Amino acid sequence: MKYNSKLRTAIKEIVCASYEHPTAEDVYLMMQNKNINTSISTVYRNLHQLSEEGIIKEIVMPSGKVHYDGRTYDHGHAYCISCNRIYDLSISDKEIDDLVAKEIGMKVLNHEITIKGICKECMNKVNKQK
């Protein structure tokens, strides 16, 4: 299937420029705000294709909600359960694989680790309310 290259480029640029790890709905709204006319299904289709090609990454949250990451280099993620923000972590897959190998002697074939917690900003809000 041939994809509209202008739309595809716009979608890629939105994801790559965002440090917020947007969902397809977020990307769709950002496109609407930029007066780029498209449908939500077109956004989903292009995000899926860009992910399949390794241009962006899909991040599937424990809830099943999919976010997108324009930074495809080796790094991890942490998720705030209060504000739902996803943070980039500078830990590599190799570091995790090496730790597992050292701890239990397992050769890691694949892993999906989601670090969940409450971010600094949300903790500050909670502390101010006390």
Residue 2 has pLDDT above 70, yes or no: no
Q: Tell me the pLDDT of the chain averaged across its residues.
A: 91
What pLDDT, on the 0 to 100 scale, is given for residue 126? 84
Do residues 9 and 29 make contact, with C-beta atoms less than 8 angstroms apart? no
41 phi, psi to nearest 5 deg: -65, -35
What pLDDT, on the 0 to 100 scale, is given for residue 114? 79
What pLDDT, on the 0 to 100 scale, is given for residue 14? 97
Residue 94 has pLDDT above 90, yes or no: no
DSSP-assigned letters across all residues of the chain:
----HHHHHHHHHHHHH-SS---HHHHHHHHHHTT----HHHHHHHHHHHHHTTSSEEEE-TTS-EEEES--SS-EEEEETTT--EEEE---HHHHHHHHHHHH----S-----EEE--HHHHHHHHHH-
Supply 37's token pair: 């006319």
pLDDT average, residue stretch 102-125: 91
Domains along the chain with CATH numbers:
5-69 (1.10.10.10), 76-129 (3.30.1490.190)
What pLDDT, on the 0 to 100 scale, is given for residue 110? 82
What pLDDT, on the 0 to 100 scale, is given for residue 83? 92
| Alpha-carbon gap, residue 109 to 101, rounded angstroms | 11
pTM: 0.83
